[in-house]
Structure 1
Amino acid sequence: MTAGPFRLGPDDPALGQVLALIRRCFADMDGRIDPPSSVHRLTLETLADQCNRGEVWAIGAPIVAAVVLTPKDHLLNLGKLAVAPACRGQGLARRLVELADARARARELRALVLQVRVELVENHQTFARLGFVQVAATAHPGFDRPTSLTLQRALAAAP
């Protein structure tokens, strides 16, 4: 079984692995989405800041899956969910979503929420299988068409 999930702190040397994984996993969006992904602005410093403002969780040694969790407006936002291509289909994204669900319940939040780009239809399908439904469509500044979808998932009943 793959190690984790485990929480990383702002000084954790494994944040470099998380950053590299996210960059690798989001690289195929280049040229597919407009505007370009915010992953291009992600640095070790901003990832460490995410550890302070929210939580960064990972699976594996070396790290093969990761997610950033940030509470906002009674919801828990899932950001930069990444699973190494060679490890997809093994339930790692599901494990991270279930972890997020447990963390949201522990914080007494209402639901999980995430943003997905309109063009990334395969991601829409993946998140639908994980229980997410579309609740909004939004446009990045300067765009007159939706560029992102907001997906939400109700929390699982407490065990």
Structure 2
Amino acid sequence: MSDTLLLRAATAADAAAIAATIAASFEQYRGKLEPESGAFRETAEAIAAELTRESGAIVAERNGRMIACVMVQLMEDDLYFGRLSVVPEARGEGIARRLVEAVEDEARRRELAGVRLGVRIVLVENQKLFSSMGYVEISREAHEGFDHPTSINMRKALR
């Protein structure tokens, strides 16, 4: 078997594997984020429903096993991505960066103006990754029930 990384568009049949990949990837944040990440409430059924609408996902596979994924959806004239997930044993290989680049390529294919994301204020390393890829802060927002910002919205212009 080849150790080549394959990136491809997800189908509804991938929903259970996507849910499992998100769960494994976000486990390190359990009990560390306020409020807790919505990633812990993701289900295969909800993801399958998302994949049949305007939303989508890109998955990364190695040797037939999903090791990373990212969810995408149209937001105005931008492509928004969230739930960027890489399983712990595959980290440090640049897979997150490759997935973000794939999102950017998809946005260009759709002739969209840019790409957006949201990142928790406390996840400084994630912010550094996105900044290194050309994303800039465009706003901050508070999750429901909080009186201070908990999340940073970032954007990269493509045109």
TM (norm. structure 2) is 0.90
Q: Contact 1:54–1:68 (CA<8 Å) still a contact in 2?
A: yes
Q: CA deviation at 1:29?
A: 1.4
Q: CA deviation at 1:152?
A: 1.0
Paired-residue identity, %: 34
Q: CA deviation at 1:136?
A: 0.7
Any runs of at least 4 consecutive aligned residues in structure 1 with deviations exceeding 4 A, and if so which?
none
Q: CA deviation at 1:8?
A: 1.6
Q: CA deviation at 1:2?
A: 2.8
Q: Contact 1:137–1:148 (CA<8 Å) still a contact in 2?
A: yes
Alpha-carbon separation, structure 1, partners of 2:135 and 2:88: 22
Question: What is the total number of aligned residue pairs between the two structures?
Answer: 154
Alpha-carbon separation, structure 1, partners of 2:89 and 2:157: 30
Structure 2 matches for 1:75-114, cutoff 5 A?
A: 75-114=78-117
TM (norm. structure 1) is 0.90
Q: Which amino acid aligns with 1:124?
A: Q
Alpha-carbon separation, structure 1, partners of 2:144 and 2:101: 32
Alpha-carbon separation, structure 2, partners of 1:44 and 1:19: 5
Structure 2 matches for 1:2-151, cutoff 5 A?
A: 2-10=4-12, 12=13, 14-52=14-52, 53-60=54-61, 61-151=64-154
Q: Which amino acid aligns with 2:60?
A: I
Structure 1 unaligned spans of 5+: none
Q: Which digits, 9 at most, give the CA deviation of each residue in 1:6-28, with x for residues without a partner?
A: 11212x1x322221111111112
Structure 2 unaligned spans of 5+: none
Q: Which digits, 9 at most, give the CA deviation of each residue in 1:32-66, with x for residues without a partner?
A: 11111111221111111221221111111211111
Alpha-carbon separation, structure 1, partners of 2:156 and 2:149: 21
